[in-house]
Amino acid sequence: MEPKRIREGYLVKKGNVFNTWKPMWMVLLEDGIEFYKKKSDNSPKGMIPLKGSSVTSPCQDFSKRMFVFKITSTKQQDQYFQAAYLEERDAWVRDIKKAIKCIEGGQKFSRKSTRRSIHLPETVDLGALYLSMKDTEKGVKELNIEKDKKIFNHCFTGSCVVDWLVSNKSVRNRQEGLMIASSLLSEGYLQPAGDLSKNAADQITENPFLDNPDAFYYFPDSGFFCEENSSDDDVILKEEFRGVIIKQGCLLKQGHRRKNWKVRKFILREDPAYLHYYDPAGGEDPLGAVHLRGCVVTSVESSPEGRKSDEENLFEIITANEVHYFLQAATPKERTEWIKAIQVASRTGK
């Protein structure tokens, strides 16, 4: 009987020999993690057994890479993985830890809890708190703050975070709020913006977070950017990134010249409506952008050359300028979700 598939999808994996980072199709089983060069491959490039392994998240071994976690095997060999965004990393880490715990206890992996309790856990659920903070109506308000001839977009102050924690009764007082905010920062749910908050975060202190109106922070997937005095061209270029992120993740994209397929990280923003795509293995600047205003998006059953694709779940974006983009999702559900999200952005964005 084959092991149950718990989770699968693209992650960027660090090589053990050449130390290069490459996107791989990962499959989490009950007893290990298989990784493939492509989703369509029949046999994996390798397998990481979970028995006796441990998971470290967030992993701070690579300062320029976000959303990294580490799996350490019984042979003390470290395997590094990078997710596309925070929630994706946390989902993988949560399932891997649970799979390891099930192996140790001789149990079958199950997403349904066997315990029923009306009591909340004593420890704070930072993941749930983070989602509440990001709520567009009741969460922490993102602002554009000007300081020292710089404009910090999509950010908020340290004082605002503590104010929110106290007013929502997540903590009893500001001292507790400072401790929770420091934990959120340490776990990667918040990021420092500006010299004051960055310097505090770099110091080895009890509270790396500052309850200060001059200390700025941002959510890691908020579209934050800082701009100084710039030309009109720079302002026009950065207008693309002012939109709120409504969806992100990895998809296969077909190149316009060579017609080959490559894994790309996509970030969908609305108002203005843009779909930016990046090299998932690294690089802060996008490889390209698709202006979605007035576009048409639909599912397709064959490749642009008319041949049946090796993979299913294809969809096509046709821009207002009649540029065609062919993308491929991992599952029918994922394809439907992307199509619906793009359709909404194309109607509401600039």
Cis peptide before 58 (omega within 30 of 0): yes
What is 126-226's CATH number?
Answer: 1.10.10.10
Q: Which of 282, 84, 14, 60 lies closest to 188 in space, CA to CA? A: 60
Residue 261: pLDDT over 70: yes
Model confidence at 235, pLDDT cuts 50, 70, 90, reads: very low
> pLDDT tens, 36-78?
998 888 899 999 999 999 999 888 888 778 889 999 988 888 9
What residues does CATH 2.30.29.30 cover in the chain? 5-105, 234-348
Could you read off the pLDDT of 265-275 as tens digits, one per residue?
999 998 889 99
CATH of 234-348, one of 3.40.50.620, 3.40.50.970, 2.30.29.30, 3.20.20.10: 2.30.29.30
Answer yes or no: is pLDDT of 227 > 70.
Answer: no
CATH architecture of 5-105: Roll (2.30)
Peptide bond into 272 cis (omega under 30): yes
In which residue ranges of the chain is CATH 1.10.10.10 found? 126-226
Average pLDDT over residues 13-42: 91
Decide which of 159 and 309 is more confident: 159
